[in-house]
């Protein structure tokens, strides 16, 4: 991976190429950028290994130029953000979507593509409001640009982002985590909540969080996004056998499923 040369404090080049990295935030809670800052011991390693040109949460002095890697969190929720994303995409050789909002649309996309966006905007803001930038329905990055790699999560996992950066640094392809939440739940030897007829979306949700919720007795609500290998139809039947209505199940999977859940529930609604 090409980049800029590392220099010593005196400006003398050590001759090592550092990939140029930009970290950006669109609409979201900024939790994924915060997680990067909270990598603590590893933060200095990241700054040593990469030439960080832009990091909106960590620096007020961004350098907007060609990038080897851009990490973007947040959903696209305004026309201005859509244009900014297109501009980042043009400058970046590799674009990574980080977090549920960037990969699926986030909670702001829970009614994705149901046709109610204009009415919801009117109900909240009224008819006469003037926006500084045109709002658009919260959408994941890949609705507008090609995304090279995905880091799901709410927020993303520290080990996954470090693994991705390490592989990119060494010219290797980052690999997606292949297991559902249930896999991690079993590794932690939790009693399955489904045995007690309690709601849990673990089988149909991407793993990586270490089964954070079921390990504390709370059913998974799917914040890492849908697991493509999940059997949604059978899991919905099981949840219905606990007394939940299909509407309630659909409402809950839409909470974090955003745009990505639509393909899995289109025949089930």
35 belongs to the binding site for ligand SF4 (CB under 6 A): no
Residue in 27, 103, 205, 227 binding ligand SF4, rule: CB under 6 A:
205
Rounded Cα gap, residues 153 and 145, in angstroms: 20
Query: Least CB distance from residue 184 to ligand SF4, whole Å?
Result: 8
| Residue 29 binds ligand SF4, judged by CB under 6 A | no
**Pairwise CA distance, residues 180 & 256, whole Å:** 15
User: Looking only at residues 142 through 171 of this chain, which bind ligand SF4 when binding is defined by CB under 6 A?
Assistant: 154
Distance CA 259, CA 208 (A): 20
State the minimum distance, in angstroms, from the CB of residue 126 to ligand SF4.
34
List the one residue from 3, 25, 203, 230 that touches ligand SF4 (CB under 6 A): 203
Please answer whether residues 194 and 165 qualify as being in contact, where contact means their C-beta atoms are separated by less than 8 angstroms. no
- Identify which of residues 220 and 265 has a Cβ nearer to ligand SF4 in the complex: 220
Q: Does 138 bind ligand SF4 (CB under 6 A)?
A: no
Give yes or no for residue 221 binding ligand SF4 (CB under 6 A): yes
CB 165: neighbour CB atoms within 10 A? 23
- Using CB atoms within 10 Å of the CB of residue 31, give its burial: 0 to 12 exposed, 13 to 18 middle, 19+ buried: buried
Total residue length of the chain: 269
* In contact, 148 and 88? CB cutoff 8 Å: no
Smallest separation, CB 100 to ligand SF4 (Å): 9
By beta carbon distance, the residue nearest ligand SF4 is 202
**185 lies in the binding site for ligand SF4 (CB under 6 A):** yes
CA distance 165 to 243: 44
Q: For residue 182, state whether it binds ligand SF4 (rule: CB under 6 A).
A: yes
Question: Which position among 74, 214, 230, 257 is part of the footprint of ligand SF4 (CB under 6 A)?
Answer: 214
Report the phi/psi class of residue 47: left, alpha or beta, with left for phi > 0 and alpha for psi in -120 to 50: alpha
Q: Residues in the site for ligand SF4, rule: CB under 6 A?
A: 154, 181-182, 185-186, 190, 192-194, 200, 202-203, 205, 209, 211-214, 220-224
């Amino acid at each position: 991976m090409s980049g800029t040369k590392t220099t010593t404090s005196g400006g003398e080049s050590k001759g090592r190429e550092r990939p140029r990295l930009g970290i950006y935030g669109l609409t979201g809670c900024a939790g994924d950028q915060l997680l990067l800052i909270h990598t603590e011991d590893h933060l200095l390693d990241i700054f040593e290994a990469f030439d960080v040109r832009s990091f909106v949460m960590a620096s007020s002095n961004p350098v907007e130029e060609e990038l080897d890697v851009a990490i973007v969190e947040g959903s696209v929720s305004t026309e201005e953000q859509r244009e900014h994303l297109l501009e980042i995409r043009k400058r970046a050789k590799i674009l990574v979507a980080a977090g549920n909002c960037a990969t699926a649309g986030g909670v702001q996309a829970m009614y994705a593509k149901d046709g109610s966006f204009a009415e919801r905007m009117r109900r909240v803001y009224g008819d006469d409001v003037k926006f500084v930038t045109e709002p658009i329905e919260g959408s994941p990055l890949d609705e507008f640009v090609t995304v090279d790699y995905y880091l799901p999560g709410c927020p993303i996992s520290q080990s996954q982002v470090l693994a991705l950066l390490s592989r990119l640094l060494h010219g290797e392809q980052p690999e997606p985590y292949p297991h559902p939440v249930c896999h991690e739940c079993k590794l932690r030897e939790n009693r399955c909540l489904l045995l007690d007829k309690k709601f849990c979306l673990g089988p149909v949700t991407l793993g990586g969080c270490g089964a954070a919720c079921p390990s504390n007795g709370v059913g998974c609500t799917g914040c890492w996004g849908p697991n493509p290998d999940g059997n949604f139809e059978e899991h919905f039947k099981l949840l219905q056998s606990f007394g939940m209505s299909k509407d309630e199940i659909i409402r809950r999977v839409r909470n974090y499923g955003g745009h990505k859940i639509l393909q899995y529930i289109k025949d089930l609604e």
